[in-house]
Structure formats: structure tokens, C-alpha cells
Amino acid sequence: MLRRLRVIVGISGASGAIYGMRLLMSLRKYNIESHLIISRTASVTIKQELGMNKSLLYEQADVIYATQDIGAAIASGSYSNMGMLIAPCSIRTMSEINTGVTSSLMSRVADVTLKERRKLVLMIRETPLHLGHLRTMVKLAEIGAIIMPPVPAFYIHPRSIDDIVNYTVDRALNIFGIATEKPFTWSGVTQNYSAHIKK
């Protein structure tokens, strides 16, 4: 019997809970098993930004874990999965992962993901960034994390916030090798300059 692919999803308390919600919906759509961790502060953001209780978010996930459940299966490197995506990722969560402090299940799983050389994608949601933030991101990138701020792409001519969110989520899934319906691949623009034409 074939085992479903698994992706671990973390939702921290940073602004941008919609990214986590849409990620869970997309994983369900593509029949990929989602394992969800929501930080304590994320519950507040979810209610404020999405107007819903976190229990409604839970309905989109296959498996849910309490943030203090350090003994959960996903906290072990032996637990098979494709990797972890934290969307959105707060500066606090990023900093905790960087220092190797594993005081919560989210940071513990992120640390395990790095040591097992699996993909760890961090949708850092903060601006502007000071030098300390940037140095932390560099260190995380050096040890294998993928820093992916949710930056909108306007070449797709988005007509709604949904278009912007979906584009970012699809790009994140592509990092895991998950082919989405609308990858919004840049196909290039041909410039009509004679200097570019070989004769």
C-alpha cells in the first residue's frame, strides 16, 4: 500500500494567517497529508485576520498537534515527511529556530527538519528588517533553511488578494516538487531591439 506524501505546516502569530490557511487547502486539494502546528499567538491572528476560530482551520488539516506536544511523532527525525513550511513565520519563531532552542513543537520540528536535511521553508512576515534580522536569515540559509518572504508578483496581473496569496502558496509548493495547476511560470519577454538579434 502506497503511503501518502506528508508536509508539516506551522502557523505562527505573524500577520498573514491566510497563507497558512490557503496552504492547508492546497495540500488537501493535491491529496498530500498535512500535519498542522499552530502557535499560541497564531490563534489571535487567525481570529482577527480571518474572522474564524482556529477549530475551522483544523478542519483543513489531516493531523493536528498541540504546540507543547514535544513528544509528538513529527518531533522525531525517523518520522517520514517531505519537510516543513511555516506560513507565516514570525521573527520570534525564526529566531528560536536559529538558536536551536526548541521550547515548542514548532521550533523542535523545524530543528529536526534541518538536521534531517529536509526542506524547511520560512515565510518570514516582517518589514522593514534590521541588521539582526538579516544576519539571522543568513545563518538559517547557511544551515539549509529556505527564506521565502510572501512577496507578491505583479507580472501575473493579480485581480484580487486571492490571486496574490495563491501565487505565493503555489510557489512554496513548487519548492517541494508539488506541481500545481497554475504555476505562473515566467515565460520571458521578447524585446524588439536590433542589438539582440543575431544576423
**Which residue ranges in the chain fall short of pLDDT 70?**
1-2, 182-187, 189-199
Backbone CA torsion sign across 168, 96, 10, 49: negative
Strand partners for 11: 38
Q: pLDDT at position 176, please?
A: 96
Indicate yes or no: pTM above 0.85.
yes
Closest among 122, 118, 77 to 98, alpha carbons compared:
122
Which CATH architecture is the domain 6-196 placed in? 3-Layer(aba) Sandwich (3.40)
Q: Please give the Cα distance from 65 to 71 (Å, whole number).
A: 10
Chain segment 65-83, per-residue pLDDT in tens: 999 999 999 999 999 999 9
- Would you kindly state where each structural domain of the chain is located, as residue ranges? 6-196
